[in-house]
A and B are shown apart, each in its own frame.
Chain A
């Protein structure tokens, strides 16, 4: 099973602050990396699916980068708003056999205070 590490575990910021989280994963046989946003009492929703080394994706004030050679991805939120409060999950996937499924990290829980 892939070892997926997300840091920090939790983060408290003020409205307007910019923030970033890290997802680390084994770089061998990399296939894809997903980011999901999970609000309390709701279902996880996809933010990004990234497959190429050096990929950079953006959705509104949220962006993500991917380094498959060293096995990490960053998620950035510019000018956090209270509605950005959620748990952010990353899920890498590697090639082959039983590893060919998404493995979710424990997430980074973001709280944005007004």
Chain B
């Protein structure tokens, strides 16, 4: 089954404790991205990757890192999480950058206390 898998689904952590949210897709998609969803705002892009070893900042990259060592995986790293990073996070992948549909992971609900 074609899918984007995120882990964990839920996470409560403390300020400053490094964490990684994993994202994996099995559709051989080149384009992957991370979004955050906050109340009253649309999905906002954090980082994106056009292909292996090619990553770039989205609209709200501060406090996040990503890597794309393999085509299927695109982890999101929070080196020192802060409460303002409490949010719902989605990973998405698509065959190309904008003219093909995006497939979303199940979402990760992160709370930083």
What residues of chain A have their CB less than 8 Å away from a CB belonging to chain B? 1, 4, 31-32, 34, 36, 42-46, 49, 51, 89, 91, 93, 100-107
Complex Cα spacing A43 to B33, Å: 14
* Prevailing SS type, chain A contact patch: loop
B106 pairs with A102, CB closer than 8 A:
no
What residues of chain B have their CB less than 8 Å away from a CB belonging to chain A? 33, 35, 40-45, 48, 58-59, 90, 97-107
* Prevailing SS type, chain B contact patch: loop
Contacts of B40 in A (CB 8 A): 106
Known: A101-B45, A105-B42. A31 touches B102 (CB 8 A): no
Known: A1-B59, A4-B42, A43-B90. A32 touches B99 (CB 8 A): yes
- By beta carbon, the residue of chain B nearest A46 is B101
Minimal beta-carbon separation of B94 from chain A (angstroms): 9
A102 pairs with B104, CB closer than 8 A:
no
B101 pairs with A51, CB closer than 8 A:
no
Complex Cα spacing A42 to B105, Å: 9
Contacts of A42 in B (CB 8 A): 106
Complex Cα spacing A69 to B104, Å: 30
- By beta carbon, the residue of chain B nearest A93 is B98
Contact for B104 among A45, A103, A105, A106, CB less than 8 A: A45
Contacts of B107 in A (CB 8 A): 43
